[in-house]
Every structure is written in structure tokens, then in C-alpha cells.
Structure 1
Amino acid sequence: MWKLALMAGIALAGVGGGTASAQVVAIDSGRVEGATEGGISSWKGIPFAQPPVGDLRWRAPQPVKPWQGVRQATAFSNDCMQIPFARDAAPLGTPPAEDCLYVNVWRPAGAQPGDKLPVMFWIYGGGLVNGGASPAVYDGSELARQGVVLVSFNYRLGRFGFFAHPALTEANEDNGLLGNYGYLDQIAALDWVQRNIAAFGGDPNNVTVFGESAGGGSVSMMMASPMARGKFHKAIVMSGGGRRLRAELPVRSEAGPDGEDAGLGFAQWAGVEGTGPEALAKLRALPAEKVVAGIGIAQKPVAPSSGPLVDGFLLQAPPPDVYRAGNAAPVPFMAGANTADIGFAPPAEGDLFEARFGQFAQQAREAYAGFDGKELEAAINADAGMVEPARHMVQQMTKAGQPAWHYRAGYVPQAMRAEWPGLPHATEIPFFFKTIEARYPGETTPEDHAMAATMSAYFVNFAQTGNPNAATLPQWPVYDDESRPVMLFGMSEAQGGPDPWRARLDVTEAASEQRAAAGE
């Protein structure tokens, strides 16, 4: 592990000590003042759109109104409106509010406009109903210390971010941009990067989008959306699914269920009747607490809601279909999952293998030999939900002629080895961000830090060059569909090569392809 720490060494850019000092940068909406401390300059709470409140609720993000003087940008804004939950692996650092469309930037202190540092654009997860940019494990300081500019931001969640209703469709205030307001926020933040990141020393022509869970699914949205095309240049999907995403219903359809059905159901629950301008005004006047009711990872639903919608503009087809057609953004690509990731499936009726794998049941029994009980079902569900879909996306990008890399994170921090048999969903993030001390304060070991340095270095290399490899790191083989290699971040080392889980993933792939062919 000490070798890993040495191999992961990257020259620091603009690092120095000292107390905090002011940093003023001019952007397209005005001047912002951040702070420099410990060799890193940061700006927090910069607006990238007008507050989406009042008449701007359920509107595409609107341009920021310029300000005079210097705006203080040294503290996070409110995270977007949601109901936080106690077991969040990345607990919020600010109270949620509807006024939340703000961006944050970290850079090496010595960076100057024109330096053209690589940009890493982080999209948080949380099921599109929870999450924010303020959690300590998302702090961008340690990535910036390795010579990149790190950008994070907030986007609308739950019914604030994904909502359709006939009154909105009729008003058509944003020329067809309906339903996917949270995704529109993400693209607006990416547009902000294109316009402004050079002022912070970043390169708008070298932007890597990366995200975990729903953030990984959001990266897939960008890979599929014509509205994001050309605005980023590399992509990383972390435990983001990849075969079935919540973007399968249209905004409006005469043939079957659609997003407007959910919107009408919520309006009825909230006591709002009608489908005209008066109904829309009443919906926009609802207290935020009523709009958010029953929406959250730990909440029991009280009224209908929808997720992302195929709107014909931002999304013309579900992202998995775009990958399959070879039409995803033509950029270097990386995807992976964790060794104890999550997956969801209804309880199996009868034999588990017959229910999950059909004609491939015997092959699956052999592939999963050694598992039983709840551990068996958890492994099957995780492979189907996160682990194999990550490989599937890498496969599709490879078929489309793009270089792609597959990983699996399995290093369990020392503090959790008595509780975790593998690395659970979302717990890889502090390693790639090098923020493990924020996640496990006072409990980290030199081995933990060495692995974090290694994992983080691969991501930074990828952002810099489009290839995660460097002479100082173990070789990570580019993916090919014959040998199907993987980079394993294991309990003692990082090692690239043949996948020890290949039999499991191959039978999961076969069953998934069979279901897809049957239209299931």
C-alpha cells in the first residue's frame, strides 16, 4: 500500500500554506470574491440561474441578472428543496430551499486565466430526490490540488425538478422544454462552465463530467442529449445503472401513461383543479413543503410523482437506447460500480435462478456457486442493477469506436471492515475525491489514504488526457469485448486485468439481453 501512495504522486499545482486570503474573479454576470487557504482557491454559491421560485417554478433556468460591485462567494448556497434522510452517506451541509441554483469552483491557488487546466464537473446523486453540492465528501480541494479545476452545483429535485401538467404544456413558456427541469439545470450549469471557467484558469475545451448514482444517470443523460453535445469532452459514470433508467415516459401521450398523469394526480391531491392558467398559478403558489411532500429516499409517497421524461428536446429517447444505437456522445468514457452495490427487484416467486435468469438458470447457479440466502439475492440484484450495466455501457462505447475503461471499487476502509463484506453504494466517492477524513474522521489509516490517492489519481489522469494511466500507476487496460478486462480497486492493491466476476456478469448480460428482446 505504501507503494500505491508513492505511485499515485502527482505534481501539485500552485500549492502553498498560509491563512485565507481574498480572490476576486470577473465572470459574465459580475465579480465574485472567494478565498484561498492551504494552496487552494475556492468560490462557493455563485448563481448560474435566477432563483426558480414564484413564476419561475417549473420553468427552464433563466439567465442570471448581473450585479454591481463584488459578490461574496465564500459559503455554500442552500441545497435544493428536499426532505433529508438520516442515513445519507453524504449528509447535506446547508438547509434545503427552493432558491438553490448555484455553482462552486475550486482551483490551485496559483492558477491564472489562460492556464487551461482540465475541468472536472461533478453531479451528485440521491435518486433525483435527495442530494446537494454542500456535503464535505464532495469538497473539491484535493482534486484541485492535483492540477484540475473542480466544479460542483445544485439542480432541482423531486417534483421541483421533474414535473409535467397540462397547464404547463399549454403555457409552453420555454418552447417545448417541459418536464425535465432538474436536467435543464445541469445543462445550464455546464453552459456556465463554457462561458466562465477560463476566468478561473480552466479549459472549456477539456471538461470531464462525472457523477454517482443518479449523478451517474445524469451523465448518461448528457451522453444522450443533443442539448449537451459538444459541451463536455470526457465522461465517468459511477454506479449509474445503464440498462434501465427513469426516463421512459413521455411528457404527454395519447397512447398510454405519461408525465402529465402524475402531475394531474399530484394537483388533485394538493386541491388544485383544472388545466388552465388559473390552475398553473395555484400550483406555483403552493408552499414548497407541500410540493415536496412524500418525495425522498426515506419517504413514503403521498401523491403521484414522475422522474425524468422523454420530451423530444432534451431527451429524444431513453439514454440506454442511445448507447445501444451507437449515438452517445463520442468522448472517452469510463464506468464502474462497487463490490456491494445496490439493485432492486421484486421478490422472486419460486426458484430465484429460474425467476431471474430463465433459460440461463443453470449457468447462473454455476456462476454464483458459494452464495446463498440474502447474500445471493443481494449479489444477483447488484449485478443486474449496477455492476453489469456499467460494463454494458463500456461495451456500447467500445463498439461505437470510443476508448472506454471499466472499473470495480472494492476497497473497504479499515474502520468499516467489521461491518461491510464489500464496498456499498456511494461509499467509493470519498476515495475518488480524497475526502476520506471527512467521511471517517479520526478513523483513517495510511492504507486508506494510499488507496484514495491511487483512485483519485486515475480520475485526474483521465480528466487531463482522456486516459487514466500514468507511468507511476498500475496499468489499467482499455476495454475490449473479447477479454473484457476490469480495473479492480481491491483490499490491498489496484490491479487491472481479467475480471474474476466475468461468469457472473456474462450470465447477467445474457438474461438482460433476453428480457430486452422480449420487451420487458
Structure 2
Amino acid sequence: MPRRFRLCLLLLGAAVVAACAQRPPAPPTAPEIAVDGGRLRGERGDGVEVFRGIPFAAPPVGGNRWRAPQPVTPWQGVREATAFGPDCMQLPFPGDAAPLGVTPAEDCLYLNVWRPPAADAAALPVLVWIYGGGYVNGGASPAVYDGSAFARDGVILVSFNYRVGRFGFFAHPALSAAAEGPLGNYGHMDQIAALQWVRRNIAAFGGDPGNVTVFGESAGGGSVLNLAIAPPAQGLFRRMAVMSGGGRSLMGPLRDLDIDRPGLPSAETVGMNFARGVGIAGTGPEALRALRALPAERVRGDLNLGSLMAAPAVAPTWAGGPFRDGPVVAATPEEAYAVRQAPLPVLIGSTSADIGFAFAADMEALFAPFGDAAARARALYDPDGSGDLRAVAARVGMDRTMTEPARYIAGRTTAAGGAAWLYRFGYVAEALRDRVPGAPHASEIPYVFQTLDARDGPAPSADDRAMAAAVHGYFVSFARDGDPDRAGLPHWPRYDAQQHALLEFGRTGAVTAGPDPWTERLDLIEAQAEAVSRDVD
């Protein structure tokens, strides 16, 4: 080959290489998965694969309103799974720490999966997230619930929607008479249906159906506790994490489906109150048809977290969330854990300035329920003698509603031979420390998910990101190994009833393990709770 011809070929090859170098890379091939409804096409990017808006039950509309979740109708071809389905019908709550990313609708039973790329052959641990919102708000679409960080760390994250408000927790004699299946707690039935979908399908995404951890915050945490003792949910998950999810019944006894009690009307009575308010009388098939024909906005009404706090008059037409129905909710977690012999491993805790309720006209009334320990309780809850009823009642209410109940669940789990890890999240973002005394309710969520950039407000500091890396790392370890303790992070001991050991995420970033500094005041709350329980018995 002549030298000049070889030189031309070399120059041509160099030109081709240069042109290719300037050409943008080809877009990644969209991942496809087959599930029991058909094929799905997700999207790949930023080191993860995401499948959004996957139907796990038929739309709960028309004749499916107030019915247990019904099977999905299979689809033909490949379904695009790149956008969230609608969040469940609700009136969004202004100021929500997790604002919805899509418009709510009654057709809402969709779930989402984040996974590492090309995870088909692996048996990866699975985390299933249940959002909070007081059983009247919430959805899977908020940006702070993005599962990418978990997927990058080798954990598949599943989130899903469940019916809230009167769509999710509702009873009426006409529904009972129709005998269409389990009654009342439709939101919990949705949660169980989503977990059943995970059991059937998660292996196709590379997940291990035998290594599923369910976690949730607030009403989501309360849901996790209810699912742990619900007969239809048994065997669907291996362990649980409960964030500010309660565990006691100090807010009052559980409402019954169809039994009116003094001062506590049944869920059916509450449903009839609502029906009368929208002009529907009777308890037969005509009433049921009329209820199911109501526009979704009419069923929703003005119900949300704001209206519940500002207008207690809504209470006669709202069941308040889960109630005792028998097949799904047969007892409170407190009742069940008092006798439970084989509890699931649990990671559980609350925040240092958590939500709580303690209604009293003055300080004397606030501490009177402590009986002979009233003076000691007052000294513990108001050590400076401020006499600030609102601030002191908030601390008492927090301990009654969240702090001590978390300790109760950890203690009962340990007493029954199970494993429990207790925490208190007190970290306050660096930009907020001069005006926020403690970590508010739900403030740990973006740290758990490592989604600090999704929050409103100042950009996260280096300390904020370090705290998020630590908290997230513990949850990854718990999902993967069943123990949150991990190398490179402060040791997280198991809970024990003698030391009341917990891991504390401190206000300014220290992470320390040791005896609970609030032990004495929580002991007083425990004694009060046990006295209430004896009175009820």
C-alpha cells in the first residue's frame, strides 16, 4: 500500500474519531420489566432506574369506592412508567413539609420502584415506604420521598399511595349490608394490597421478597404498627421502622365499626352523620348508590390536617382514621404488644420537638393526671419554673403521644425476645438553629432519604449533609442486615429495659448512644399509661 494512501486512511480514521468524540452520547436504553399486569418501561439516570405510576389495584372509583382493592386489569403492550400516578383524593394542607408533586384524584392506587441499574439478577433488600399525613393527607409523589439514594446504596425502595380521609376510612350500614368484603379500613387494605404486589413482583426488579422492611412516619408509622399485627399482612415483611408513629392509646379508645359506646360513636354512626349532611338518608341499597354517586370533592369536603386542628366540628363526620373492624384492625398496638410473643425486629423513635396533645386549662389541670407524682412531673417538665402552659403542655403531650409510646414498643419487643433499636432525632439544620428549639415532627425524613435539597429554605450545610449521610446509612444497614449498626458510624446498641439505651442525633450534629436522659419523665408517663390501661380493663 503506497505511503500516501496509508496516510490518508490514518487521517480519515482520526477525523471519524474526532467527530464521534463531539457527538453527544446515545441516551440510555429505557429499562423494561414484566409484572403481573403487563410490561413496564421506566427510565434510567443519575445512577438509578425508576418505575413510577405502576397500578397495583383497580381504580377505586364508581362501584369500587369503599371496597377492598380489586385486581388490576392487564394492559396490552408496554406501559410507560415514568410519571407518578395521582396522589389519593384529598385537600392539600398548606405548609406541608412534604408537598404533593401531582394533583390528587380518586383513581390513585399506584406505586413506584427505585432500583440500582441492571439489578435483575440480584436479591437486593427492599424498603417499602408508607407516608404520613394524619390519615387525611399525604402521597407518594413528594420530592423528599425520592428513593434514589437508597437505590444507589443497593436497596430497592418502593412507595405507594393509599386512600385517605373518608375514601380510606369510612363505614355506613348500607356498606355493611352489601357484604362486599372487608369493611371500613380501606386505606389499610390498600397498604396490604401494595405489600402483596411487592411479594409477587419485586423479584423481577432484583429484589428479595423475603427481605422486605416496611417503614413509615406519623400516620405512616402508625400504619406500620397496625400492619405488624394485622392478620392479612402476616408474612409480607420481615422487619419494620416506625418514625413518630405512636404505639400507645393515650389519645382515647379505638372506635368500633358498628358498636356505639358512651362518648364514642361507631364508625357507622359517623358515616351516617356524613351522609345526612350531604342529603342522603336511609341504610339500604339506594343510600349506597347515592353515596357512591357523590362527586369526589363532596366526599372529601374540607377535611385536611388544617381543618382538623382548626375546626373540631368536622369530627362528627370523620371517623378519625383506623377503627376496630375485626379482620384488619382487631386491636390497638398497645393491646397486641401486651401479649405478643414473636414481635418483628423494630427500629423506632421520635423527634426532640415532636407533635403531641395535652389539653388543660392551667398547670394544675395539666399535671393532675400524674396523681401523687404531679409535683415531680411539674419539676421535670418545667425545670425553670417558667409557668408557660403552652410550652410545657407541648412537652407533656409529645411524651404521651410519641416519645414514651416508642419506648413502650421497644420495651415490649425486647421483653418478648425480639430485637429493638430506639432513637431520638434532635438535629436542627444549621441555618435554623437560632430560631428552632428542637427537631419538629417529620423533620428527620429528608435525612433518612438523603433528599435535603428537596426541602424549602436555605441550602444544606456540610454538617446537614453529614447528618443525612449518617441517618441514611443506619437505615440502609437495617434494611440490608436487620441491624442498623454499621462500621464507620457511632455504635447503635440494642434497646434494653434496664438502661433504656437509645441513639441520639444531637441538635448540633453529635451522634451518641447511651441511657435516655429523659428516662425519669418517661417513667412517669408510663405509670400514667398503665393506670389508664387498668382503669379501662
Question: What's the TM-score, normalizing by structure 1?
Answer: 0.93
Give the Cα–Cα distance (whole angstroms) in 1 for the partners of residues 39 and 303 of structure 2.
37
> Who is 1:14 aligned against?
none
CA deviation map 1:399-439 (0-9, x unaligned):
11101010000010112212210000011100011001111
User: Does the CA contact (< 8 Å) of 1:343 and 1:382 recur in 2?
Assistant: yes
> Who is 2:8 aligned against?
none
User: Does the CA contact (< 8 Å) of 1:46 and 1:102 recur in 2?
Assistant: yes
> Who is 1:494 aligned against?
511
* 1:61 pairs with 2:74: no
Amino acid of the structure 2 residue aligned with 1:50: A
User: Does the CA contact (< 8 Å) of 2:358 and 2:394 recur in 1?
Assistant: no
Identical-residue share of aligned pairs (%): 53
Give the Cα–Cα distance (whole angstroms) in 2 for the partners of residues 439 and 254 of structure 1.
44
5+ residue gaps, structure 2: 1-24
User: Does the CA contact (< 8 Å) of 1:353 and 1:361 recur in 2?
Assistant: no
* 1:317 pairs with 2:331: yes
- The equivalent position to 1:253 in structure 2, one of 259, 265, 270, is 259
> Who is 2:16 aligned against?
none
CA deviation map 1:350-388 (0-9, x unaligned):
515532422221221332323631322211111111111
Give the Cα–Cα distance (whole angstroms) in 2 for the partners of residues 270 and 354 of structure 1.
42
User: Does the CA contact (< 8 Å) of 2:366 and 2:393 recur in 1?
Assistant: no
Give the Cα–Cα distance (whole angstroms) in 1 for the partners of residues 245 and 191 of structure 2.
16
* 1:187 pairs with 2:192: yes
Counterparts of residues 361-440 of structure 1 (less than 5 Å): 361-368=374-381, 369-370=383-384, 372=386, 373=388, 374-440=390-456
1:515 CA displacement: 2.1
Amino acid of the structure 2 residue aligned with 1:205: G
> Who is 1:27 aligned against?
35
User: Does the CA contact (< 8 Å) of 1:19 and 1:37 recur in 2?
Assistant: no
Cα distance change on mapping 1:20 and 1:262 into 2, 3 Å: farther
> Who is 1:36 aligned against?
44
Give the Cα–Cα distance (whole angstroms) in 2 for the partners of residues 65 and 205 of structure 1.
27
Secondary structure, aligned partner of 1:242: coil
CA deviation map 1:438-489 (0-9, x unaligned):
1146511111000000001001101111110112211111011011101001
> Who is 2:110 aligned against?
102
5+ residue gaps, structure 1: 1-16
CA deviation map 1:185-210 (0-9, x unaligned):
00000000000000001110000000
User: Does the CA contact (< 8 Å) of 1:353 and 1:364 recur in 2?
Assistant: no
Amino acid of the structure 2 residue aligned with 1:325: V
Bigger helix fraction: 2
CA deviation map 1:124-182 (0-9, x unaligned):
000000000000000000111111000000000010000100110000111xx100000
- The equivalent position to 2:124 in structure 1, one of 113, 117, 121, is 117
Amino acid of the structure 2 residue aligned with 1:133: A
Number of aligned residues: 500
- The equivalent position to 2:288 in structure 1, one of 280, 289, 307, is 280
1:19 CA displacement: 5.5
1:254 CA displacement: 6.3
Cα distance change on mapping 1:162 and 1:246 into 2, 3 Å: farther
Cα distance change on mapping 1:423 and 1:356 into 2, 3 Å: farther
> Who is 2:153 aligned against?
146
Amino acid of the structure 2 residue aligned with 1:229: Q
User: Does the CA contact (< 8 Å) of 1:247 and 1:309 recur in 2?
Assistant: no
User: Does the CA contact (< 8 Å) of 1:247 and 1:308 recur in 2?
Assistant: no
CA RMSD of aligned residues (A): 1.7
Cα distance change on mapping 1:485 and 1:350 into 2, 3 Å: closer
> Who is 1:11 aligned against?
none
Amino acid of the structure 1 residue aligned with 2:348: A
User: Does the CA contact (< 8 Å) of 1:106 and 1:144 recur in 2?
Assistant: yes
- The equivalent position to 1:164 in structure 2, one of 157, 165, 171, is 171
Secondary structure, aligned partner of 1:121: strand
Give the Cα–Cα distance (whole angstroms) in 2 for the partners of residues 454 and 255 of structure 1.
47
> Who is 1:234 aligned against?
239
Secondary structure, aligned partner of 1:227: helix
Give the Cα–Cα distance (whole angstroms) in 2 for the partners of residues 255 and 95 of structure 1.
38
CA deviation map 1:28-78 (0-9, x unaligned):
110001001011000000000000000000000000011110000001111
> Who is 2:203 aligned against?
198
Secondary structure, aligned partner of 1:431: helix
> Who is 2:370 aligned against?
357
> Who is 2:7 aligned against?
none
1:389 CA displacement: 0.8
> Who is 1:267 aligned against?
275
Secondary structure, aligned partner of 1:78: coil
> Who is 1:222 aligned against?
227
Question: What's the TM-score, normalizing by structure 2?
Answer: 0.90
Give the Cα–Cα distance (whole angstroms) in 2 for the partners of residues 514 and 24 of structure 1.
57
Higher relative contact order structure (alpha carbons within 8 Å, sequence separation ≥ 6): 1
Amino acid of the structure 1 residue aligned with 2:346: F
Secondary structure, aligned partner of 2:498: coil
- The equivalent position to 2:183 in structure 1, one of 162, 178, 185, is 178
Amino acid of the structure 2 residue aligned with 1:343: G
